[in-house]
């Protein structure tokens, strides 16, 4: 090749590279625009629902490139349809308090998507509840339920009623009034609610009793029931246990284990309690728990015996986590979250947006190698993106906390069969489901560099089954 030929070849190469770069930058510009346009519509249609916007954005951001290479979903506007609830039910709940005074709250049920099974998802009783929170939860539930591999659609409900400080009788009267309206919209083959923040065994019992009375039907219309009337063994433990099983799966990809690890947990309710129990059983050291007043830091580690105190304190006495610090002589840090405490693993198990970008940086700076969400959307977008950037093992709630709804699905199966499986059988099924959710994340989330982006994996893995069912069922 002479000098001129060489120059020509070099020029051609440069032109080719330049054209490719231009094409890539145009394509990414186009993607940004599409995402922007999509989010503009979401915000316009759902004004003021910040948590819903956040949850939809996180899914849309990771799904858009997948939709580009699968035009059948795009053409049928599957993402737009998934982000629009099938139905939103909103109603007044009147009840009488112990002083005989009239009280009024607002009740909701969001029936988000039933392409792959009856609507399924919890009820949240918390004063912060409004449409935006329940729509984000219902949206997430669609993907989560699909990931479990069980036939469950997505829904969520609740109320701004605050069970804190209410007597058992007040809670019962509220639940009965709430169910008078809710019962018109749910059913064992239509929509099956369960617990979430502020709704545990006590509330599910009152709700079930009232449904039974109104319909004269003993059916599996709610899950999380007591074992005496159709509940499943392991359901109370399932979300926390499942989250920790998921952590074991993630650690195994790096040939590591929970044994010997220091674990920071937020919350001290249902999910946090059983996440702590499983970590302790697997030889990890749990050093924090929290509630909305602050967190306790027990440097020596929370033992099973100390955890039993927490369970009694929270589930029976309905007390505050501060009392743990008083009893065991450890630190209580008021009005703060525990993310500044040095740890190997962090399990946010309290509520949405409880871990922000600064917290995420503190965690990685302190050497944290894994974060698994027991709560729904506890990490802000900034925090989640930081974990992904740092390539630590980061599991979004829709993957790692799916064990709760999975065992709810198993409760529905047992109710239909009219029999009960043993503790070991349910636990083995739960483990199997968490393993298969992890495998879905790896399948759809592993990037070219071999690192798994669990957010992408969970979003695409959860989407495909629902999307294919929607395509098959036509425009309904």
Collapsing DSSP to helix, strand or coil, 89 comes out as strand
Is 404 among the residues that bind ligand 2IT (CB under 6 A)?
A: yes
Report yes or no: 75 and 116 within 8 Å, Cβ to Cβ.
no
Q: Which of 346, 375, 384, 458 binds ligand NDP (CB under 6 A)?
A: 375
Which long-range contacts does 20-26 make (Cβ < 8 Å, 24+ apart)? none
Pick between residue 59 and residue 78 the one whose CB is nearest to ligand NDP.
59
Q: Which of 105, 351, 352, 376 binds ligand 2IT (CB under 6 A)?
A: 376
Which residues between 377 and 406 bind ligand NDP (CB under 6 A)? 401, 404
Is 148 among the residues that bind ligand NDP (CB under 6 A)?
A: no
Is 196 among the residues that bind ligand 2IT (CB under 6 A)?
A: yes
The footprint of ligand 2IT on this chain (CB under 6 A) covers a number of residues equal to: 12
Is 351 among the residues that bind ligand 2IT (CB under 6 A)?
A: no
Using CA atoms in the order 366, 368, 374, 377, what is the torsion angle rounded to 10 degrees? 70
The listed partner (ligand 2IT, ligand NDP, none) that binds 163, CB under 5 to 8 Å by sort, is: none
Report yes or no: 112 and 139 within 8 Å, Cβ to Cβ.
yes
Q: Which of 193, 195, 445, 457 binds ligand NDP (CB under 6 A)?
A: 195
Q: Which of 85, 107, 117, 122 binds ligand 2IT (CB under 6 A)?
A: 122
The DSSP string of 46-63 is STT-HHHHHHHHHHHHHH
Q: Which of 279, 363, 405, 426 binds ligand 2IT (CB under 6 A)?
A: 405
Using CA atoms in the order 261, 266, 272, 273, what is the torsion angle rounded to 10 degrees? 80
- Contact window for ligand 2IT (CB under 6 A) among 120-128, 262-270, 345-353, 434-442: 120-128
Q: Which residues, in sequence order, are CB contacts of 383 under 8 Å at separation 6+? A: 355, 356, 357, 359, 360
Active-site amino acid positions: 156
Is 194 among the residues that bind ligand 2IT (CB under 6 A)?
A: yes
Task: Determine the Cα–Cα distance for residues 358 and 405; give it in Å rounded to an integer.
Answer: 31
In the complex, the smallest distance separating the C-beta of residue 42 from ligand NDP, rounded to whole angstroms, is: 21
Task: Determine the Cα–Cα distance for residues 375 and 350; give it in Å rounded to an integer.
Answer: 6
Report yes or no: 337 and 346 within 8 Å, Cβ to Cβ.
no
Collapsing DSSP to helix, strand or coil, 240 comes out as helix
Report yes or no: 287 and 343 within 8 Å, Cβ to Cβ.
yes
- Contact window for ligand NDP (CB under 6 A) among 109-117, 175-183, 300-308, 368-376: 368-376
Which residues between 211 and 240 bind ligand NDP (CB under 6 A)? 239
Q: Which of 270, 288, 380, 415 binds ligand NDP (CB under 6 A)?
A: 270
Give the Å distances, CA to CA, from 309 to 268, 295, 305, 316. Answer: 11, 16, 7, 10
Report yes or no: 123 and 405 within 8 Å, Cβ to Cβ.
no
Is 197 among the residues that bind ligand NDP (CB under 6 A)?
A: yes
Is 176 among the residues that bind ligand 2IT (CB under 6 A)?
A: no
Q: What residue ranges bind ligand NDP (CB under 6 A)? A: 195-198, 200, 239, 267-272, 291-292, 349-351, 374-376, 401, 404
**Which residues of this chain interact with ligand 2IT, rule CB under 6 A?**
120-122, 141, 144, 194, 196, 223, 376, 404-405, 408
């Amino acid at each position: 090749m002479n000098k001129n030929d060489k120059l020509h070849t070099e020029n051609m190469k440069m032109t080719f590279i330049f054209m490719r770069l231009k094409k890539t930058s145009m394509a990414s510009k186009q993607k940004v625009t599409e995402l922007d346009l999509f989010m503009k519509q979401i915000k316009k249609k759902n004004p003021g629902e910040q948590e819903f916007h956040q949850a939809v954005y996180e899914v849309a951001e990771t799904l858009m490139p997948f939709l580009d290479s699968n035009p059948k979903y795009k053409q049928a506007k599957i993402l737009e349809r998934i982000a629009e609830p099938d139905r939103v039910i909103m109603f007044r709940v009147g009840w009488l308090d112990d002083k005989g005074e009239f009280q009024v709250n607002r009740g909701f049920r969001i029936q988000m998507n039933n392409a792959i099974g009856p609507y399924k998802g919890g009820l949240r009783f918390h004063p912060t509840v409004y449409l935006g929170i329940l729509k984000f939860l219902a949206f997430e539930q669609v993907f989560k339920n699909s990931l479990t591999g069980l036939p469950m659609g997505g829904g969520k409900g609740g109320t701004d009623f605050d069970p804190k400080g209410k007597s058992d009788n007040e809670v019962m009267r509220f639940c009965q009034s709430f169910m008078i309206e809710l019962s018109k919209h749910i059913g064992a083959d239509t929509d099956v609610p369960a617990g979430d923040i502020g709704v545990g065994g006590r509330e599910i019992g009152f709700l079930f009793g009232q449904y039974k009375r109104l319909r004269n039907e003993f059916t599996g219309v709610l899950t999380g029931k007591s074992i005496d009337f159709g509940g499943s063994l392991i359901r109370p433990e399932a979300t926390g246990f499942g989250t920790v099983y998921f952590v074991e799966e993630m650690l195994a990809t790096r040939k590591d284990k929970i044994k010997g690890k220091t674990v920071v947990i937020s919350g001290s309710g249902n999910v946090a309690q059983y996440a702590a129990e499983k970590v302790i059983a697997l030889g990890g050291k749990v050093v924090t728990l929290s509630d909305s007043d602050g967190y306790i830091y027990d440097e020596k580690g929370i033992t099973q015996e100390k955890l039993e105190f927490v369970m009694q304190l929270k589930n029976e006495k309905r007390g505050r986590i501060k009392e743990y610090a008083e009893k065991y002589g450890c630190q209580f840090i008021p009005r703060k979250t525990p993310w500044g405490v040095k740890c190997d693993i962090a399990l946010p198990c309290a509520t949405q947006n409880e871990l922000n970008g600064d917290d995420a940086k503190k965690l990685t700076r302190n050497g944290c190698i894994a974060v698994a969400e027991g709560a729904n959307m506890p990490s802000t977008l900034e925090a989640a993106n930081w974990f992904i950037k740092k390539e630590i093992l980061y599991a979004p709630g829709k993957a790692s906390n799916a064990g709760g709804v999975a065992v709810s699905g198993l409760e529905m199966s047992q109710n239909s069969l009219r029999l009960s499986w043993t503790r070991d059988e349910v636990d083995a099924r739960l483990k199997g489901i968490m393993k298969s959710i992890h495998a879905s994340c790896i399948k759809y989330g592993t990037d070219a560099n071999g690192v798994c982006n669990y957010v992408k994996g969970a979003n695409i893995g959860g989407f495909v089954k629902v999307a294919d069912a929607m395509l098959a069922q036509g425009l309904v």
